[in-house]
Chains A and B, each alone.
Chain A
Amino acid sequence: MQYSAKVMDHFTNPRNVGEIENASGVGTVGNAKCGDIMRVYLEIDDAGVINDVKFKTFGCGAAVATSSMATELIKGKHIDEALKLTNRSVMEALDGLPAIKVHCSVLAEEAVRAALWDYAEKKGIKIDGLEKPAEDIHDSHHHDLEEDGC
């Protein structure tokens, strides 16, 4: 199994690690049983622009790198743009992931959406195309992944 140079770069020097106090939205997905948990903090202004984003991740090299890349891709973007983030776009931005690590990129997408959901809840607004995050992303799955529990 070999990681791309971009994955190694984002793993070695992850961007946007940390917390945001009183964040506009916080989302945590994954579970420790499966070995990966990602938490995203968003700071969103009145115009709906994500001014700042931070993350914390418990997980493997791919989980850290996809978290870092996902935060880079949505930073400074309007929430409508952030909603378009998919696991595929995160993977492409990292020049790909080994097949067994694809589920890590799903985690990044879901964490961003969970944070946006939290923001919408706090603001009492409805964001089109955004659904309530699953209790455990590993239990529900789509994204043409072969999964057995995790």
Chain B
Amino acid sequence: MKCDVKDTDAVKQMPKTIYLDNAATTILKPEVLDAMMPYLTEKYGNPSSIHSFGAGCSAVCESARKTIAGLINAKDNEIYFTSGGSESDNWAIKSVAYMKKDKGKHIITSAVEHHAVLETCEFLQRDGFEISFVGVDDKGIIKIDELKAAIRPDTILISVIYANNEIGTIQPIKEIGEIARSKGILFHTDAVQAFGHVPIDVEKENIDMMSASAHKIHGPKGIGMLYMKNNVKLTPMIHGGPHERKRRAGTSNVPGIVGFGKAAELSSISMAKNNAKITEKRNYLIDRILSEIPYSRLNGDRDRRLPGNANISFRYIEGESMLMMVDMKGIAASTGSACASGSLDPSHVLLAIGLPHEIAHGSLRMTLSEFTTKEELDYTVEALKEVVSKLRAMSPLYEDAMKKKEE
């Protein structure tokens, strides 16, 4: 809503926006912007240049790389900056596929991957590779037995999402990594939702490659990274200059890298404290909704779950309508309904955990950050109660269900 007038009563009464879509992107922290600002203004050097302008910029990029590596127990030279999670996923999967195609053309992934992994695998499928999509249980956890059974002599890569973006389920990454390593298969994980939110140790968890992104942890958009274990030498993502150890050419995005480093530093300092705080608020939100709104259910695992994720299905109503109505009340959320996605099928993740189409259509994802307050959640629950009852009052499915109940 556009509002040119400042501090009128109407403006004061208008609920401020409540942002519950932190899995989509997060607010840039002021400290991150402050760290970036000099590199958007006076310190504009190219890190590849020999002169002092360049050298200063090169040093800060290396310092950011060190911070990011430290957060996941990697070595500095195992971090490759990219434009974000999607590029990192594409790079890891396609590069392994084409490098190893003489050994085999079989890749294993899960049914609950992000589109950046799913579509990349489907692209490779059209190019003659065979892909096994391993199923998940009703909480969204990968079926380990099915994964083991899918392994063949020609399997070259296993790629499983660290934590799902829709339902927040955290996968048994260490176990999958162990299986892959024991079979000599490379293991990649898309950790875009998990990096900086939950502790990750690439050594202990047997991870060979991992994708992450800055804007999910209060950093800037357009910058991310691929962790690539030192013995894994992927072919370059972009050919050209010597940037990123000759594997990803293009002048370094210095302000982005600096911002990513700062955001990672802030995450690492306060991760434990923030997680406890966010988890408590998320549980409060989930408990209030489930107890106060009938015919609602939590999607995903209650405990093995990202701290900020609440994904709830409301029966008999449709997600896009719900999203539009809560938006009018100043609340930003997300849905797995088909209508909001541009396709006609609801989210593949909700279908993979076994939800029938009509229930999958009525899902709402609310993702919290460290800045979400209890007051905001109270307002959200009240708004949801109104919206759900308004939509149910105009739902033929609800009408039928209630009549059936009376009988």
Bound-state Cα–Cα, A62 to B337, Å: 14
Whether B320 is near chain A, meaning CB under 8 Å from some CB there, is yes
Q: Which of A1, A56, A148 contacts B395 (CB 8 A)?
A: A56
B328 close to A58 (CB less than 8 A): no
B399 close to A11 (CB less than 8 A): no
A58 close to B317 (CB less than 8 A): yes
Bound-state Cα–Cα, A64 to B320, Å: 11
Stretch in B146-154, B186-194, B341-349 touching the partner: B341-349
Please judge, given known A-B contacts A58-B318, A59-B321, A61-B321, whether A35 and B397 are in contact too, CB under 8 Å. Answer: no
How many Å from the CB of B402 to the closest CB on chain A? 11
How many Å from the CB of A80 to the closest CB on chain B? 27
Bound-state Cα–Cα, A17 to B318, Å: 16
Please judge, given known A-B contacts A56-B395, A56-B396, A59-B321, whether A1 and B342 are in contact too, CB under 8 Å. Answer: yes
A33 close to B358 (CB less than 8 A): yes
Residues of A within 8 Å of B316, CB to CB, are: 58
Bound-state Cα–Cα, A32 to B357, Å: 7
Interface of A is mostly: mixed
CB 8 Å contact bits of B376-398 with A (1 = contact, 0 = none):
00000000000000000111111
CB 8 Å contact bits of B355-367 with A (1 = contact, 0 = none):
0111001000000
Interface centre among A12, A35, A64, A103 (most CB of B within 10 A): A35
B394 close to A32 (CB less than 8 A): no
Bound-state Cα–Cα, A39 to B324, Å: 22
Please judge, given known A-B contacts A58-B316, A60-B337, A150-B345, whether A32 and B397 are in contact too, CB under 8 Å. Answer: yes
Whether A149 is near chain B, meaning CB under 8 Å from some CB there, is yes
Question: Which range holds the interface residue count of chain B?
Answer: 20 to 34
Whether A38 is near chain B, meaning CB under 8 Å from some CB there, is yes
Residues of A within 8 Å of B339, CB to CB, are: 35-36, 59-63, 101
A35 close to B396 (CB less than 8 A): no
- Chain A, 40-56, CB within 8 A of any chain B CB: 55-56
Bound-state Cα–Cα, A103 to B394, Å: 20
B357 close to A60 (CB less than 8 A): no
- Chain A, 112-150, CB within 8 A of any chain B CB: 147-150
Q: Which of B324, B361, B398 contacts A35 (CB 8 A)?
A: B361
Whether A57 is near chain B, meaning CB under 8 Å from some CB there, is yes
Interface size on A, residues (CB 8 A): 32
B344 close to A59 (CB less than 8 A): no
Bound-state Cα–Cα, A20 to B399, Å: 13
Whether B340 is near chain A, meaning CB under 8 Å from some CB there, is yes
Whether B131 is near chain A, meaning CB under 8 Å from some CB there, is no
Please give the residue numbers on chain B whose beta carbons come within 8 Å of chain A beta carbons, in ascending order: 316-321, 324, 328, 337-340, 342, 344-346, 356-358, 361, 393-399
Please give the residue numbers on chain A whose beta carbons come within 8 Å of chain B beta carbons, in ascending order: 1, 11-12, 14, 17, 19, 28, 32-39, 55-64, 100-101, 103, 147-150
19 pairs, A vs B, C-beta closer than 8 Å: A12-B328, A17-B394, A19-B399, A32-B397, A35-B337, A35-B339, A56-B395, A57-B395, A57-B396, A58-B316, A58-B317, A58-B318, A59-B318, A60-B320, A60-B340, A61-B324, A64-B321, A103-B344, A147-B344
Q: Can you name 18 extra interface pairs (CB under 8 A) apart from A36-B339, A63-B321?
A: A11-B324, A17-B394, A33-B356, A35-B318, A35-B338, A35-B339, A35-B346, A35-B357, A39-B396, A57-B394, A59-B318, A60-B318, A60-B320, A60-B321, A60-B339, A61-B324, A100-B342, A103-B344
